[in-house]
Amino acid sequence: MDAKTHSPANSAQLKVGDKSWNLPVHHGTIGPDVVDLSKFYGDTGMFTYDPGFTSTASCDSKITYIDGDEGILLYRGFPIEQLAEHGDFLETCYLLIYGELPTAAQRADFMHRVTHHTMVHEQMSRFFQGFRRDAHPMAVMVGSVGALSAFYHDSIDIADPQQRLIASIRMIAKMPTLAAMAYKYSIGQPFVYPKNDLDYAANFLRMCFAVPTEDYKANAVLARAMDRIFILHADHEQNASTSTVRLAGSSGANPFACIAAGIACLWGPAHGGANEAALKMLAEIGHVDRIPEFIRRAKDPKDSFRLMGFGHRVYKNYDPRAKIMQKTCHEVLAETGHKDDPLLGVAMELERIALQDDYFVEKKLYPNIDFYSGITLKAMSFPTTMFTVLFALARTVGWIAQWKEMIEDPSQKIGRPRQLYSGATKRDYVPISRRK
C-alpha cells in the first residue's frame, strides 16, 4: 500500500477564526501518522512553524525506521541487533542501497565492485599536502571528500542511474582510504594503499595502523568490532547530517559535494562529536567514588553539566545500538588487554546508578551509542580526533542511500523552507550624513 493512501475519513481539521480546512492524513507502514501540509500555504496563505523540525516529516522514506519509545531501529525492516550479530557492513550497505539483503552472487559482485574502487586518484595525496599537519581530521575529510567532485567527472550526471550507482560505490569504497589518509597525515606517517584481499574493516585498520617497515596482520576480533561499529552507525533516518545531504542534493548538486556537506554537519558536538565528550567525561570522573558528585551536578538545574552519552532526541528508551556497543566494548577491551580499564568500570557503575535514579528514569534518559563507543575506539588505538571521522565513514552509505532515494522520487523538489519574519518592516534608505 502506498504510504500516502488516505481517505476523507483520514483527515485532520484546522480551524483559524471562522475558516476551517481539511488536511489529508497519511499512514506509514509503521510509526505515527502524518498530516500533509504540502498544499497548506497555497490553500491558507499561512506557513507552519517548527524550528528544529521536531514535528516535521521532511520526506517519504523506505530506508530506516526508529521507534524511540520502544528502542527499535530497523534498516529496511531488519532489526539492528540481527544485522550486527549475523551480517556484515558491506551486506548492510547493499541492503540500505538496494532495499534487500543480497544473494550470494549479488554479495560477491558488490564486494568486488567496492573493493576495486578503494584507491583514490594519486593526485589526492598531493592535495593532502595543502593541509596543515595539525588540521583536525574532520576538516581534512570535509575538504578531501569535497575534492572528489573534481576528480571523477564520469559519475556526476545524477539523472543517469548508472552514474549515480558508480558515484555511490566510489564513495563507500574510497571513504576508508581517505579517512586513513587523514589519520596518517596527522601523525606524519606515509599513506598505506588499500589491499584487495582484505575485507572492508580489516583493510581500513591496516591502512590506519600498518607502517612500511613492518608486516601487519589485522586482529580478527578488532576487525569484527570495527565492522560492527560501522553497521551501528550506517543510517539513522532523517538526522541533521542526512537532512543536510538531502537538502544539498535537492538542488541537483554534485554527489561528492553533497556528502562533504553531510560531513560538515556531522562534525558538530551535538551530533557526531558526543562520543569524544563522553570519553572526556569518564576520564574527568576518573573513579567510581566520584560518580555521585557528577550525578548530582547533572541533576542540578543551575549547573550546565550533562551526563555525556546519556539522552537522545528520539530514543526515550535504551538506544538499541548502545547495548550492542557495550558488548563490543567488552570484547575489544578483553582482546587488547584493557579489560581492567578504570574508564570501563566508571562507565558501568555510572550507567547502573543513573538507570536507578528517579531523575534519569522520569526524563527517560538512557545511555546512547556514544556512551561506550569512545572507550572502545580508544582501546583500538584511535585518537579522539578520529572518532567522528569513523562515524562519517560508516554514515556515508546512509547518506548515499537517502540521497539516491530522494533523486529517484518523482515528487522530489528543491528543499526550500520558509520563515516567520520578525525583522524590520519596509523603511527608506537614510544617507550617511543623516544617520545618528
| Residue 262 or 309 with smaller CB distance to ligand ACO | 309
Active-site residue flag, 153: no
Does residue 311 touch ligand ACO according to CB under 6 A?
yes
At 166, list the grid cell.
558508480
Whole-number minimum distance, CB 316 to ligand ACO, in Å? 9
Active-site residue flag, 197: no
Does residue 368 touch ligand ACO according to CB under 6 A?
yes
Cα dihedral 26, 418, 412, 153 sign: negative
Does residue 296 touch ligand ACO according to CB under 6 A?
no
| Binding test (CB under 6 A) with ligand ACO, winner from 290, 306, 339, 352 | 306
Chain position carrying cell 548515499: 400
d(CA 138, CA 383): 13
CB 98 within 8 A of CB 41: no
Residue 78, beta-bridge partner list: 75
Query: Which amino acid is present at 373?
Result: S
| Residue 184 or 395 with smaller CB distance to ligand ACO | 395
- Part of the chain binding ligand ACO (CB under 6 A), chosen from 120-128, 288-296, 300-308, 335-343: 300-308
| Residue 176 or 311 with smaller CB distance to ligand ACO | 311
| Alpha helices, DSSP H, located in 149-219 | 161-187, 200-209
- Beta-carbon contacts of 290 under 8 Å, excluding residues fewer than 6 positions away, are none
Q: Which of 59, 64, 96 is nearest to 172 (CA)?
A: 96
- Rg from Cα positions in the chain: 24
SS3 assignment, position 346 = helix
Does residue 329 touch ligand ACO according to CB under 6 A?
no
| Residue 39 or 306 with smaller CB distance to ligand ACO | 306
- Part of the chain binding ligand ACO (CB under 6 A), chosen from 97-105, 132-140, 247-255, 306-314: 306-314
d(CA 95, CA 101): 5
Query: Which amino acid is present at 38?
Result: S
d(CA 64, CA 144): 28
Interface positions, 231-290, toward ligand ACO (CB under 6 A): 271, 274
Whole-number minimum distance, CB 321 to ligand ACO, in Å? 8
Please report, for residues 5, 11, 41, 86, 278, the alpha-carbon distance to residue 8 in angstroms, rounded to integers and kept in the order given: 10, 6, 20, 44, 49
Whole-number minimum distance, CB 103 to ligand ACO, in Å? 32
Phi, psi of 416 (to 5 degrees): -150, 85
Does residue 312 touch ligand ACO according to CB under 6 A?
yes
| Residue 169 or 225 with smaller CB distance to ligand ACO | 225
Of the residues 88, 235, 319, 370, only one is catalytic, namely 370
Interface positions, 195-224, toward ligand ACO (CB under 6 A): none
Of the residues 117, 236, 312, 338, only one is catalytic, namely 312
| Binding test (CB under 6 A) with ligand ACO, winner from 138, 158, 344, 369 | 369
| Residue 284 or 409 with smaller CB distance to ligand ACO | 284
- Part of the chain binding ligand ACO (CB under 6 A), chosen from 121-129, 162-170, 249-257, 310-318: 310-318
Query: Do strands 78-79 and 19-26 pair parallel, antiparallel, or not at all (unpaired)?
Result: unpaired
* 26 CB burial (10 A radius; 0-12, 13-18, 19+): middle
Residue 310, beta-bridge partner list: 367
| Binding test (CB under 6 A) with ligand ACO, winner from 132, 280, 363, 417 | 363
Does residue 351 touch ligand ACO according to CB under 6 A?
no
| Binding test (CB under 6 A) with ligand ACO, winner from 365, 397, 400, 401 | 365
Does residue 316 touch ligand ACO according to CB under 6 A?
no
Mind telling me the catalytic residues?
A: 312, 370
Which residues contribute to the site for ligand ACO (CB under 6 A)? Answer: 271, 274, 298, 306-313, 363, 365, 368-370
